Structure 1
Amino acid sequence: MTFPSRTRILGDHAGALPPTGVSLGLLLLRLMLGIIMVGHGTQKLFGWFGGPGIDGTAQFFGAYGYPAPKAMAFIAGLSETLGGLGLALGLLTPLAAAAVLGTMINALDVTWDGGFFLPKGVEFTLLVAVAATSLALTGPGRYAADHYLPVLRANRLAYGVAAIALALVAGAVVLLIRD
């Protein structure tokens, strides 16, 4: 059994688009993750979908020791909403993934004691964080707005690693300023 070469699969040039099946898989992942994050973000920002809105989210952040809880609620809601929109559209995918990942780093800290497979468990938050990280590294595929931004296509891995580093630093800084 012979395996196709990387050149045959990805093409001859740097930043080649992934095969159609891979791109369709990435599209499905981006759409679902993006829609879920937009939903969670708008719950925080506007109280949509039965969410607490800014004031309720601020109370939550205050209870967990975050300074300026209303500002933190706004930042979290905006990060989830705009990051989710970016992922769904495949627009500035590394930055959108960083917005989601940075928020999930703090959510992981809050949910970590919930264990796995429990009502307030960590598995959903962990799945979102890993999915965002994966999209930062792979790029959005050919069915994305980023397809029209050649610089992101050609430097996909470098931008992905930089976005993950940004998310880790931003998430850690926010964790460090908590009481």
Structure 2
Amino acid sequence: MVHFLLRGKPTYVNFGILVLRLALGISMSYHGYVKLLSGAAGLYKVGAMLAPLGVSGYFEVFGALSAFSELLGGILLALGLFTRLGSLLLAGVLFTATILHIDAGFFAWDYPSQMGFAALAIFFMGGGRYSVDASLFGK
């Protein structure tokens, strides 16, 4: 037991990457799926949140891009397929959400920032041994 707690082994590290990929990927793909189900009115609301950043017009398009990025990025992460691309899609959406909520207090921006840092960590780590990337492209 002490060995497990004090020494890192590649198997443990790769299993940790898998757990992180699955948690973030499933969560974010569900977020994107729900946004896409909300229809044009819901996508407009998501896109309209970008107005404080100086983005004007085409709110439905930006809302759809956000939802699609979450859905596709989450699926790619969960599968470990093109993991770095999926993590970049999610990091972009999550850091934008963090900026949009920065003035609303700690508990408003904490969640998207932590998820964004997890996506960034996955970008640097890659998919790990237990990913489709490892099967297709090797380590």
TM exceeds 0.5?
yes
Q: CA deviation at 1:42?
A: 0.8
How many aligned positions are there? 128
Partner of 2:41: 55
CA distance in structure 2 between the aligned counterparts of 1:43 and 1:36, rounded to whole angstroms: 11
Q: Going by fraction, where is helix more abundant, 1 or 2?
A: 2
Does the 8 Å contact 2:24/2:115 carry over to 1? yes
Partner of 1:95: 85
Matched, 1:137 2:128: no
CA distance in structure 2 between the aligned counterparts of 1:105 and 1:36, rounded to whole angstroms: 16
Q: What is the identity, as a one-letter code, of the residue corresponding to 2:20?
A: L
CA distance in structure 1 between the aligned counterparts of 2:50 and 2:61, rounded to whole angstroms: 14
Q: CA deviation at 1:133?
A: 0.3
SS where residue 128 of structure 1 aligns? helix
Gaps of at least 5 residues in structure 1 are 1-8, 10-17, 48-52, 154-179
Matched, 1:127 2:114: yes
Identity of aligned residues (%): 34
Larger Rg: 1
Gaps of at least 5 residues in structure 2 are 1-7
Partner of 1:108: 98
Q: CA deviation at 1:63?
A: 5.1
**What do you get for the CA RMSD once the two structures are aligned?**
1.8
SS where residue 91 of structure 1 aligns? coil
SS where residue 106 of structure 2 aligns? coil
Instruction: Name the TM-score, length of structure 1 as normaliser.
Output: 0.66
Does the 8 Å contact 1:38/1:82 carry over to 2? yes
Instruction: Name the TM-score, length of structure 2 as normaliser.
Output: 0.84
Relative to 1, partners in 2 of residues 1:116 and 1:63: Cα closer, same or farther, differing over 3 Å? closer
Partner of 1:166: none
2:75 paired residue among 65, 71, 85: 85
